[in-house]
Structure 1
Amino acid sequence: MKEGEIYEKAKGYFESESFPLPKSVFREFYSQLIKLSGFGLGGIFVLSGKKAGARAAVYLKKLLGENLTQDDTKTCIIAALQAYNQKVIEFNLEDNFALIKIDNSIFADGITSKKPVCLPLGGSLAGMMETFMGGSFEPKEIECKACGGQYCVFEIKRKS
């Protein structure tokens, strides 16, 4: 299957499985959750994101075929991000590591925080990589717009 076809099918899946929610409503809801995250919700956000990302990747593997390459994985993840208006600035993907730089993260949009806030997004990226590439991956947001960064930047490393 060609890259353009993979991209369109993956993006179509995310667009058809989404529901409209005004950004201001989501922003208010999520900012309140972040205020509570000091009580140990960070791990729950990552785990929930991982499960959501894995579920999406399972569906895409059924749609696109089981034998997806690393480039196909990258195309699927980019399609997912762009379906939600997340602008991918940089995406380096290797067997054991990914560096993903995103502008317009819905989780950081309009929020000010001392800690990175895009935990569900990092988890989702890791969950997709686990399903597509096998193994276990851990996300870490190393820069966040909510903390004053220019972008939201994720390192996703394979656990040894």
Structure 2
Amino acid sequence: MIKLSGFGLGGIFVLSGKKAGSKAAAYLKSYIGENLTKEEIKVCVIAALQAYNQKVIEFNLEENFALIKIDNSIFADGITSKKPVCLPLGGSLAGMLEIFMGGNFEPKEIECKACGAKYCVFELKRKN
């Protein structure tokens, strides 16, 4: 069924992450308010990640792009893989940015600790 849909298992992982990230961001916005600055958005995303013991090493946020470097990914710690394994985490980051900034963000894990990298690094690009 998954193969026939053309969505793939990776797409399901990203979508489930987006749903979780969207819910977390909507919850935070209900307490903090609407029109957040980029710095406030970064604080919210970092706080959400810290709640699960994930440490943000670097976070560059622009209008249509974000680069987020994370240590202690709950998906990559303690395992090895030939492919990046943090698709739900990337989806969660995209879901949060979509709620905080609007639009549709596509996540891509460009480095993964499970693949031997020091950190998990995500690029999030706004789709046109």
Normalising by structure 1, report the TM-score.
0.74
Alignment of 1:143-158 (within 5 A): 143-158=111-126
For 1:88 and 1:64, the matched residues in 2 are separated by 21
For 2:33 and 2:62, the matched residues in 1 are separated by 21
Report what 1:23 is aligned to.
none
What SS does structure 2 have at the residue aligned with 1:46?
helix
Contact kept? 2:90, 2:107, Cα under 8 Å:
yes
Shift of 1:111: 1.2
Shift of 1:59: 1.1
Q: CA RMSD in A?
A: 0.7
Shift of 1:61: 0.9
The one-character-per-residue Cα deviations of 1:56-96 (angstroms, maximum 9, x if unpaired) are 11111111111211111111000011111111111000000
Residue from 23, 35, 47 that aligns with 1:67: 35
For 1:56 and 1:103, the matched residues in 2 are separated by 20
Residue from 10, 30, 42 that aligns with 2:10: 42
In structure 1, list runs of 5 or more residues that go unmatched. Answer: 1-39
Report what 2:55 is aligned to.
87
* Structure 1 residue runs of 4 or more that deviate by more than 2 Å after TM superposition: none
Residue type of the partner of 2:22? Answer: A
Contact kept? 2:110, 2:121, Cα under 8 Å:
yes
The number of equivalent residue pairs is 121
Report what 2:4 is aligned to.
none
Shift of 1:102: 0.6
Normalising by structure 2, report the TM-score.
0.92
For 2:45 and 2:59, the matched residues in 1 are separated by 10
Looking at secondary structure, tell me which structure has more helix per residue: 1
For 1:150 and 1:72, the matched residues in 2 are separated by 27
